[in-house]
Amino acid sequence: MLFTDASFIIGLVLLCIVYFLLPKKYRWMLLLCASLLFYACSGIGYLLYIGATTVSTYFTAVTLDKMAAARKDTLAAHKSDWSRDEKKAFKEAANKKRFRLLVLCLVLNFGILAVIKYGAFTMRNLNSLISLFGKENALPVPNFLLPMGISFYTFQTMGYAIDVYREKYAAERNPARLGLFVSFFPQLIQGPISRYDELSKGLFAGNGFDPQRVMFGTQRILWGYYKKMVLADRILPAVTTLIGDPGQYSGAYAFLGVLYYTLELYADFTGGIDITIGIGQVLGIPIAENFNKPFFSKNITEYWQRWHITLNTWFKDYLFYPISVCKPMLNFSKWSREKFGKTVGKYAPVYAATLAVWLLTGLWHGAAWNFIVWGLMNAVIILISERLTPLYNRFHKKYAWSNTRAWDGFMAIRTTLMMGFLRMFDCYRDVPLTFKMFGTIFTKWNLSAYFDGSLLKLGISAADYFVLFCGVLILFGVSLKGRKGSVRQQIYNASPVLSCALTVALFLVVVIFGAYGIGYDSSQFIYNQF
């Protein structure tokens, strides 16, 4: 079931009505039922996967909690009769046991994800290797259907297990409540990847009906539908045409594909997240923001702080830092310092951790070499960019014009284009083709395609272009306005009546100008596949 399905929209309205009619203490149970129903709609068998993750994480977290409590009790009991070394040894032994349990949980759950998502990819590559020795298709290639949102809920749940291990907060003792945290329906489709301590506050509070909050939530939902249905789904046929036939659509067309796909991906992904956050807001459940005007970023590092924020912070908190300070990495740092000098010793662990994180970020996005190369190229650009930071600083000091808004705009466009070029790995079927298509942008000068009416033969009409042009202008205007804080709040402060009128207008715009129904191939949310 998609956010754009009529059954989802009707179900959501009914859910909201029932939610506010129920006594507060039962509201989270309604959400749990709705979430399970929503998930079951994608395939009742998939409940087994999410159920396995919930149950295994529940028992792991509760046991980790109990072990931590037992450790504290023992240490308290031996506060005076154990020496410092004895306490340290006991603590280390207890933590080791807890760590093993955590690792078991991580291996189990990431194992499920790995087998389902990466099993076929791994087998295909192993078969390619084995074929070098003359044996074709030596290993069977599994064909698993990907349960909806498995990457999202696995990462979110493992984040919770790690936090409990780190004793950031206590484990949830009610398995049904943990089940709701894992399966909360608005964020199952494409995230964001929430943290338990943040999400649970709203999830179990049974919030009251606050008209202004409900209206703001509704506006956010409508804004999400606007992005998804008016922009992303409208430009989709052109994107499909442009990337579907690389032989015909190279050079200027490939560049156009970069721009169109950038718009489609942004509108699709952020639109879905807006709907998710809006639903949360209506229900009084704050959900983490996942985007912060990424196309205003002046460099790639900043871009990744503004795009898919929750995934990147997840990798930072649960992978980058632990890798950077783990014992083997410290040993590697020491070894490289001794072998290659101070500078290398200083940067080697950071580089290694960055490459590892981006390798996994690439893999998270898909089981294909395209994504791996995409991830590593991000890492390389980020690392080069960081190494060149002193040079940039000197440049900005020397040339005053490089500190102007115009220069910032140039940097933002440059970053957006660079990210667009990197995203070409998303579009084309393999790495060599992606590089080839990238090359044609600079070598094939078929710019006439922009002026000879060819753009109207890509599956979208002049009317579609008109809607897209106006739609993007509105999007840009709202983003600019949003730099000063919540646009909805600004409008409401200016005039509550205007706020109400804009809600109605936005609804009408989505209904009339949305690309849906017969004649449109309404697409899945792109990140639904993760």
Partner 1 sequence: MTKKKVILAGTAMTVSAVLILAAVQRLLQPKYMSDVVEGNLVADYYNTNYAHDVLFVGDCECYENFSPVTLWEEYGIPSYIRGSAQQLIWQSYYLLEDALRYETPKVVIFNVLSMKYGKPQNEAYNRMSIEGMRWSSSKVNNIKASMTEDESFLSYVFPILRYHSRWSEISSDDFKYYFGVKPNFFGGYYLRADVKPAENVPVGRPLVDYAFADTCWEYLDRMRTLCQESGIQLLLIKAPSLNPYWYDEWEQQITEYSEKYQIPYLNFLKEPILSETGIDFYHDTYDGGLHMNVYGAEKLSHWLGQYLTDNYGLMNRSNEPAMLDEWGTLCHRYHMEYDRQVANLEMYGNIHGPEKTDGTAGSEQTSQTSAEESGKDDTK
Query: DSSP assignment, residue 448?
Result: G
CB of 45 to partner 1, least distance (A): 24
Nearer to partner 1 among residue 211 and residue 390 (C-beta): 211
Nearer to partner 1 among residue 362 and residue 514 (C-beta): 514
Closest CA to 67 of 40, 98, 44: 98
CB 339 within 8 A of CB 330: no
Closest CA to 116 of 172, 53, 161, 35: 53
Q: Two tokens at 369?
A: 């070499």
Give the CB-side neighbour count of residue 397, counting CA atoms within 13 A. Answer: 6
CB 455 within 8 A of CB 449: yes
CB of 14 to partner 1, least distance (A): 14
Closest CA to 165 of 111, 108, 103: 103
CB 199 within 8 A of CB 181: yes
Nearer to partner 1 among residue 247 and residue 519 (C-beta): 519
Q: State the Cα–Cα distance between residues 210 and 214, nearest whole angstrom.
A: 6
Query: Which phi and psi angles does 500 have, rounded to 5°?
Result: -65, -45
CB of 63 to partner 1, least distance (A): 48
Nearer to partner 1 among residue 163 and residue 233 (C-beta): 233
CB of 496 to partner 1, least distance (A): 7
- Kindly state the greatest CA–CA separation across the chain: 88
Nearer to partner 1 among residue 141 and residue 501 (C-beta): 501
Nearer to partner 1 among residue 65 and residue 233 (C-beta): 233
Q: State the Cα–Cα distance between residues 397 and 390, nearest whole angstrom.
A: 11
Nearer to partner 1 among residue 178 and residue 515 (C-beta): 515
Q: Two tokens at 502?
A: 């804009």
> 155-181 burial by CB neighbour count: b if 16+ within 10 A, else e?
bbbbbbbbbbbeeeeebbeeeebbbbb
Q: What is the 3-state secondary structure of 310-344?
A: HHHHHHHHHHHHHHHHCHHHHHHHHHHHHHHCHHH
Nearer to partner 1 among residue 132 and residue 518 (C-beta): 518
CB of 362 to partner 1, least distance (A): 37
- The residues binding partner 1 (CB under 8 A) are 6, 211-212, 461, 463, 496, 500-501, 503-504, 507-508, 511-520
Nearer to partner 1 among residue 174 and residue 212 (C-beta): 212
CB of 528 to partner 1, least distance (A): 20
CB of 507 to partner 1, least distance (A): 6
CB of 412 to partner 1, least distance (A): 33
Nearer to partner 1 among residue 159 and residue 224 (C-beta): 224
CB of 145 to partner 1, least distance (A): 21
Q: State the Cα–Cα distance between residues 259 and 7, nearest whole angstrom.
A: 33
CB 224 within 8 A of CB 273: yes
CB of 275 to partner 1, least distance (A): 18
DSSP secondary structure letters along 378-434: HHHHHHHHHHTHHHHHHHHHH-GGGGSHHHHHHHHHHHHHHHHHHTHHHHSSSHHHH
Q: State the Cα–Cα distance between residues 184 and 152, nearest whole angstrom.
A: 11
Nearer to partner 1 among residue 17 and residue 52 (C-beta): 17
CB of 37 to partner 1, least distance (A): 20
